[in-house]
Amino acid sequence: MANSTTKEPLIHITKRGLLPWYGAWGIRGGAILLALIFCALVTTVVTGQNPLSVYVTIFNASFSTQRRTWVLVQNIAMLLSVSLALIPAFKMKFWNLGGEGQMLAGGLATAACMICLKDVFPNWAIILCMIVGSIAAGALWGFIPAFFKAKFNTNETLFTLMMNYVATQLVAFFIIIWEVPKGAGKIGIINQQTQIGWLPVIGNYKYLLNVIVVAVLCVAMYIYLGYSKHGYEISVVGESERTAKYVGIKVSRVIIRTMLLSGAICGLTGMLLVGGTDHTLTTSITGGRGFTAVMVAWLAKFNPIWMILTSFLLVFLQRGASEISTVFGLNQSYGDILTGIILFFIVGSEFFIQYKINFRHAAGKEEAHV
């Protein structure tokens, strides 16, 4: 007993002061570099491939042709859009995991307008209906869990998650109703001949409209959260409901209002997917973005501008992963493993930004970074 207490602990962890920005980014950059080296090692050992050519392939997946770059940008825009929808809720500490369902609700409303109104209204009115309808549907999908949270303090994580399944089943139901041709089990391209309800294309760039909409949304969200009274109320409710009540903020009203907004933007994203790019409706049209967006938001610490970077990172890695699986004949899972390793290093680096590790006898002299 006496002996065991005479030794200094091997490592002891202390909290850092505020790092200057270059220190924090140095650590993050170092983490990515280390992750790449580690991935290279794993690649060589496990698959016998040359890691450099694997990296080149990952890069090419996004940048080798103009078309690929446009696909990359479109995917970033869609992912960013959902992430932007989630952060007002997240800042309020309302864990909205229902992005998928809210997007599907918006997409369903869009498809309904395109299919059912095509012979009734002129094209511009249909597009207007799509916009209003998708926003309303997404907002409704956000409102339901918010209402129960505000009135009965139900768990929003489970509730929003469950709402995803409801939305998926609803979409599956309507796909059978609208299927073309009968018995196909899918809708196919909606209004392929007439292009009714298709969002206009700017110049020759199919995806440009989506990108512009999301860019505007991004700046608007940055201002809304940082400088508006609503944004301030959201922060106060998120930090402490008791403080909010103490200064007379109506907490349930803020919860419902914010989730209406969150759901509405998800719904709008669904509209951009259905009306802008895919022109069809499937149960998997969201591509899991409702969940990936959670990671985008957290990695950027809910900052809309940083989220451009983190959504780029995730989309870039995803596309690279699927590319190497085809080029090298590797399993698709292998790409996901690499993505996982890189994300692990990035998330892990946050620890070293907050804390410093001191080794025995070296306390104060050497500091371990990563």
Which positions lie near another protein, rule CB under 8 A? Answer: 1, 5-9, 12, 14-18, 227-233, 235-236, 239-240, 242-243, 245-250, 358, 363-364
Q: Let me know: does 160 contact 152? Beta carbons within 8 Å.
A: no
Q: How far is the CB of 45 from another protein (least distance, A)?
A: 38
Q: Helix 289-299 vs helix 332-354: angle between axes, to the nearest 10 degrees?
A: 30
Handedness of CA 259, 137, 310, 77 (dihedral sign): negative
CB of 249 vs another protein, minimal distance in Å: 8
The H or E element that residue 304 is part of is: helix 304-327
Radius of gyration for the alpha carbons in the chain, expressed in angstroms and rounded = 24
Q: Which is nearer to another protein, 280 or 358 (CB)?
A: 358
Three-class SS string for 190-203?
CCCCCCCCCCCCEC
Cβ proximity to another protein, 228 vs 284, nearer residue:
228
Residue count (the chain): 370
Instruction: Say if residue 181 is preceded by a cis peptide, omega within 30 of 0.
Output: yes
Residue 91 Cβ vs another protein, minimum distance, rounded to whole Å: 11
| Category of 189 on φ-ψ map: left (φ > 0), alpha (ψ -120 to 50) or beta | beta
What are the tokens at 119? 């012979």
Considering the complex, state which of residue 1 and residue 177 has its C-beta at the smaller distance from another protein: 1
- For another protein, the closer of residues 63 and 355 by Cβ is 355
Taking the least distance from each CB to another protein, the nearer of 50 and 243 is 243
CB of 11 to another protein, least distance (A): 11
**What is the token pair recorded at 323?**
């590319």
CB of 93 vs another protein, minimal distance in Å: 12
Structure tokens at 63: 């940048």
Least CB distance from residue 104 to another protein, whole Å? 31
Distance from C-alpha of 319 to C-alpha of 296, rounded to nearest angstrom: 16
In terms of CB distance, is 236 or 273 closer to another protein?
Answer: 236
Shortest approach of another protein to residue 353 CB, angstroms? 12
Q: Which is nearer to another protein, 67 or 242 (CB)?
A: 242
Query: At a CB cut-off of 8 Å and minimum separation 6, what does 180 contact?
Result: 186, 187, 188
